[in-house]
Structure 1
Amino acid sequence: MSRPHTASGLPAAPRGRTASGTAAPLSLRVLRHGGYEALAMLRNGEQLVLAIVLPLLALVALVLTPLLDAYGPSRIDVAAPGVLALCTMSTAFTGQGIATGFDRRYGVLRFLSTTPLGRSGLILGKAVAVAAVLAVQLVVIGGAALLLGWSPRPEGILPAALLLLVGSAAFTSLGLLVAGTLRPEATLAVTNLVWILLAAAGGVIIPATGLPAAVEPFVSILPSSALGDGLRNALVDGALDPLACLVLLAWATLAGLAAIRWFKWS
């Protein structure tokens, strides 16, 4: 992902100072950087395909084919939560992992960590960017699902929002862990491969209970399965799945601690 550069050749960063020359409050610095990261992701063609085009195609394909007929009251009611989980994976894990990996290679992370934004502000800004892009995805994918006849349970909206929040934290932590420990080319390959595998057999689209009995116990503890099944329980049945929340919290905690321990800034 390309970044604007200054005359000295260093990558330009969002401004972290006020007009008076003093450092802006941390919250403002984080919001500015989050907005910058979100726009960079949405302007990148590859990221846009991954974040919007592929989930839309998946949603339409799942509605037109009988793949999900055995898993819920209607195809769209089962497909929409799964595709929303897929969106979270694409943005928080694959998109953020690839962007961070190449920022690390070109010295952007090292440069920004020396600005008033700091390392903690940089990470928080990335979290804000993920939330902003995910909000765009929810509007686009959710709107398309409504046009296709989706009718989510109103009482499940808040549980679904909680699951999306915890799920995005888990997948962002995993994406940063991969990006901070592997070379950019390896990060690109690993994040895309994992996204494909989880989308196909990670409990995101097809519930873990619909997979072969031999793999169901392993798939059910994956963050992809927890997010997919949790969103289906919330938006189809109107109930919060506490086990799904615990699984996602565990992944977010473990991946976050691992990223703190092994993340390399350059």
Structure 2
Amino acid sequence: MTTTQPGTVHPAEPPASGEDRAAPAWRRIAAQASFETRAILRNGEQLLVTIVLPVLVLVGLVRTSFLDLDTQGWSRVDFVTPGVLALAVMSTAFTSQAIATAFDRRNGVLRLLATTPLGRGGLLAGKVLGVLAVEVVQVVVIAGVALALGWRPALAGLPAVVGVTLLGTAAFTALALLLAGTLRAEGVLAVANLLLVLLLVGGGVLLPAGELAAPLAHLAVLLPSGALGEAMRGALLEGTVPAFSVVVLLGWTAALGWGASKLFRWH
């Protein structure tokens, strides 16, 4: 038996190993963003909405004439592609994110992750970065198909497209979190898909508001979908973004973000 002599100084406890310490915040957020990205891209239903649907809409509108379009002198593919890119942003930032977050909330995943070193802020940051990563994939795929169909975007407007995409992502992610944090998961599933269809048909995203019926034309320009569609068309057709569309998107982002921050329930 070993004994400790009086006055013996005990050696300090060894430092905690790397496994016992939390990773830096940026690494935790990056890991969550990677998980969110893979979850969307591996889910067949979400992949259908985020990648397959926009590509089918693009090819259908360009290669068929079932919908009579007033392209205002632009080629059909040049006129349609900006709206399809706006639709892609909506499908990922809103529909996919709302449904995924709602079911994570119902299953207790959000409450669990919020108590880990990732925290609530890290969880939300990871979700936003995951959305942006999926949008990069969408842009690459859609732009590749559009270029193959003869698309010639206004190169001067490409930097503006990045800003418009970020602003549209912020607005629709805030809307997604507002729905996901206040409604039951089954309700979010129905409402999110219904809203996407309604905005696709009459929200000014694929077609300019001026081509819609009179009541919808005045309403569409005030919707986030219409503002995003007009901003995309302005940037990629003419190289400039309408200031009114930017103001509308900023207003929706602020209002929806405030609502989500006040009403979101984690469980």
TM-score over 0.5 for the alignment? yes
- Residue type of the partner of 1:169? A
SS in 1 for 2:222: coil
Q: Once structures 1 and 2 are overlaid, which stretch shifts more, 18-27 or 198-207?
A: 18-27
1:27 positional shift? 1.6
Residues 1:49 and 2:48 aligned together: yes
Query: What CA distance in whole angstroms lies between the structure 2 residues aligned with 1:158 and 1:149?
Result: 21
The amino acid across from 1:145 in the alignment is A
CA distance in 2: counterparts of 1:198 and 1:117, whole angstroms: 34
The residue number in structure 2 matching 1:169 is 170
Alignment of 1:178-217 (within 5 A): 178-217=179-218
CA distance in 1, matches of 2:71, 2:213: 14
Could you say what secondary structure the match of 1:214 adopts? helix
SS of residue in 1 equivalent to 2:47: helix
- The match for 2:144 is 143
TM-score, length-scaled by structure 2: 0.91
Which residue in the other structure is 1:21 paired with?
A: 20
Of 66-75 and 78-87, deviating more is: 66-75
Counterpart position of 2:58: 59
- Using the size of structure 1 for normalisation, the TM-score is 0.91
Deviations along 1:85-109, one digit per CA (max 9) or x if unpaired, are: 0000100000000000000000000
Structure 2 match to 1:257: 258
Give the match for residue 227 of structure 1: 228
Structure 1 residue 215 displacement after superposition: 2.3
1:65 CA drift (Å) = 2.9
Of stretches 135-144 and 205-214 in structure 1, the one that deviates more from structure 2 is 205-214
Distance 2:208 2:71 in 1: 8
2:135 aligns to what? Answer: 134
Does structure 1 conserve the Cα–Cα contact (< 8 Å) formed by 2:30 and 2:126? yes
Deviation at 1:246, TM superposition (A): 1.3
Would you say 1:70 and 2:70 are equivalent positions? Answer: yes
Deviation at 1:64, TM superposition (A): 1.8
Q: Tell me which stretches of 4 or more aligned residues in structure 1 moved more than 6 Å.
A: none
1:212-251 per-position Cα deviation (integer Å, ceiling 9, x unaligned)? 1222221110000001111000000111222111111111
CA contact (8 A) 1:110 1:265 kept: yes
Q: How does 1:70-149 map to 2 (within 5 A)?
A: 70-72=70-72, 73-149=74-150
Question: Is the Cα–Cα contact under 8 Å of residues 36 and 126 in structure 2 kept in the other structure?
Answer: yes
Any idea what the Cα deviations from partners look like across 1:116-163, whole Å, max 9, x if unmatched? 000011111100000000000000011100000001011000111110
Does structure 1 retain, via aligned residues, the 8 Å contact 2:221–2:245? Answer: no
The amino acid of 1:76's aligned partner reads V
Give the RMSD, CA atoms, in angstroms: 1.1
> AA paired with 2:100?
A
- Structure of greater Rg: 2
Instruction: Tell me which amino acid in the other structure corresponds to 2:101.
Output: T
> Is there any run of 5+ residues in structure 2 with no aligned partner, and where?
1-16
Give the structure 2 partner of residue 159 of structure 1: 160
Letter of the aligned partner of 1:69 in structure 2?
L
Is the 8 Å Cα contact of residues 202 and 216 (structure 2) preserved in structure 1?
Answer: no
Cα offset, 1:69, TM superposition: 3.3
- Counterpart residue type for residue 64 of structure 2: T
The AA in structure 2 aligned to 1:94 is T
Contact conserved, 1:153 with 1:234, CA < 8 A, in 2? yes
Identity of aligned residues (%): 50
Q: Would the aligned equivalents of 2:95 and 2:192 in 1 still touch at CA under 8 Å? A: yes
